[in-house]
């Protein structure tokens, strides 16, 4: 898994998986933190992210085939 924000990159290796096994990730992201829930909470990762305040987007990268649903919530 690779998380990238504008001008700053985070690389994090998760746990070992058998090849071709389905992996379910739920990511909760904001400008200053990222939380990753793996396979409905089998493992959880939290990190502080120092995002440039001028950043206006996010990119996701993966090796292989990915099915992805993205939902953006605007917080007031």
Compute the distance between CA of residue 42 and CA of residue 56 in angstroms, rounded to an integer.
31
Flag whether 67 is in a domain: no
Count the domains in the chain. 1
**Token pair of 7 as six digits:** 């001008």
Q: What is the DSSP letter of 63?
A: S
Flag whether 40 is in a domain: yes
Compute the distance between CA of residue 24 and CA of residue 67 in angstroms, rounded to an integer.
10
Please determine, for residue 13, whether its predicted confidence score (pLDDT) is greater than 70.
no
Flag whether 50 is in a domain: yes
Please determine, for residue 16, whether its predicted confidence score (pLDDT) is greater than 70.
no
Domain of residue 46, residue span: 2-61
Specify the higher pLDDT residue, 57 or 76: 57
Flag whether 39 is in a domain: yes
Flag whether 73 is in a domain: no
Confidence (pTM)? 0.64
């Amino acid at each position: 898994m690779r998380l990238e924000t504008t001008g700053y990159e985070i690389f994090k290796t998760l746990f070992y998986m058998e090849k071709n096994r389905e992996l379910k990730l739920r990511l909760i992201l904001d400008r200053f933190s990222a939380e990753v829930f793996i396979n409905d909470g089998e493992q959880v990762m939290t990190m502080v992210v120092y995002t440039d305040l001028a950043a206006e987007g996010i990119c996701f990268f993966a090796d292989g085939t990915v099915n992805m649903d993205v939902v953006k919530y605007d917080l007031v």
